[in-house]
Amino acid sequence: MNPELAGALLSGTGLLASVIGFGATLYQISKTRSAAEAAQSAVTRTEQQLAVNHMMLLIPQLAVIETEIEASASSKSREGTLKQITR
């Protein structure tokens, strides 16, 4: 085989391998970007759900505090009302 022809074939093969490798790299970058976006979306949903759960815990506690403040206010106990407000 002619050395020039062998060099041209090897060069062409190397170029083809480089193009295929570059295409594979771009594909992997696209998949990585999609995975990162999905992870960010999951984090956002989790944060929102945690906020909802936190509010669900606070609402009954606030209702109890409201009842206690109303009871102490209706008994005209200034000290009791202040105690309820500042605790």
What is the tens place of the pLDDT at every residue in 3-44?
888 888 999 999 999 999 999 999 999 999 999 999 999 999
pLDDT score, position 55:
94
Mean pLDDT of 78-84: 72
Element (H or E) spanning 84, and its range?
Answer: helix 78-86
Distances (CA, A) of 26 to 14, 22, 48: 18, 6, 33
Is residue 84 within 8 A of residue 72, CB to CB? The reply is: yes
Instruction: Calculate the CA 41 to chain-centre distance.
Output: 5
Alpha carbons 25 and 33: distance in angstroms, whole number: 12
> Could you tell me where the beta strands, DSSP code E, fall in the chain?
none
**Structural domain boundaries enclosing 77:** 3-86
Tally of structural domains, the chain: 1
